[in-house]
Each structure stands twice: as C-alpha cells, then as structure tokens.
Amino acid sequence: MTGRLVDMAFTLGGKQRVTLELNGDFREIWDKLHLEPILDVEVKKHREKRSHSANAYFHVLVNKIAAETGESDDLVKERLVVAYGTVARDKDGCTVGFKLPVSVDVHGIYRYTRCFDTREENGKLFHCYLVYKDTSQMDTKEFSHLIDGAIEEAKALGIETDTPEQLARYKEEWSQ
C-alpha cells in the first residue's frame, strides 16, 4: 500500500506519533491489528515497479544476445541479472544468501545466484551464494541499471540497439 507522511508529533512520554495518509483501504488491516500491543512498522520511499515496455525491451535484448552467443535465453537472462541486477536484501537491509553442499545444483533451487566462496565444515564442502532479485521484484532504478548492462553487452557483440533518443524516451516512460 502506498501513501504519504502527513504529520509527526511527540507525546509527553517522549514517543513519536506519525500520521499517514494512505492510498487504499486500510480498514481490514486495522481490524486485524489495532489491538496488538507491538507491531513491526516499515516506511520507505516508494519506487515504481518496472514497466511492461521496459520488460519487453529487456527480453528483446536477451533474445538478440542469445542468438549472437548461441546461449539459451534463460542462461543469458541469468547471467545479466547476476552481473547487473540487485542483490536481494531482507527487511532489515541484510544481504540474502545461503550455502549448499557442492553436490547440489543451485539452479534447481533458485536461478539468480552467485557463488562467492567454498567452505569446508566437518569435512564436507559447501558453496556459499549471494541471491539476486528476480526481475519482477526490481524497481525502475534497478531495472534501468539491468537494461544498461544488457545494452553494453549487446553493443560489445555488435548488436543493434535503440538510439539514445529512444532509450531516453523509454526511461522517461519507466520513471512515470
């Protein structure tokens, strides 16, 4: 749900009281939670999700790169997301990662990972992975960076990309 901060006041006990104006119906959440003694609260800057036109353009670039390199579309997309995408973070801002025994194929679990270390524990080897956001979870800034990386790779392969004017128009559209 989106909204805006309206006001902040201080209670006599030194606590802060924040007023929000919400762009949606909050009544059901209120009914469920208003009697709870403690809640986790998160307020963050709103960023639009990537647009359908940006997503389509990214997939055109992926297709062109795959055709030129002989890789599958899925492999090119995975490689681009890991090279130019955004590392996933939990609600506290901590980097998301995991470890698996070296015998386990990570791609059977999640596609967008990067192995950053191999460790031995109790005589067993483990690969340690960073997790990257799926493209559907990226905001416009993150997705724009991913497209910029895909454009650079396409240009390095001699693949025709849109003109700078067209790219500026796409980015303008994505940020609205």
The reported pLDDT for the residue numbered 55 is 86
At residue 98, φ and ψ (nearest 5 deg) are -160, 170
pTM of the model as a whole: 0.66
Q: Which of 95, 96, 64, 62 has its CA nearest to residue 79?
A: 62
pLDDT tens-digit readout, 41-100: 888 877 666 567 788 889 999 999 999 999 999 999 999 999 999 999 998 999 999 999
The label of the residue with tokens 């639009």 reads 48
Confidence of residue 172 (pLDDT cuts 50, 70, 90): confident
pLDDT tens-digit readout, 88-140: 999 899 999 999 999 999 999 999 999 999 999 999 999 999 999 999 899 88
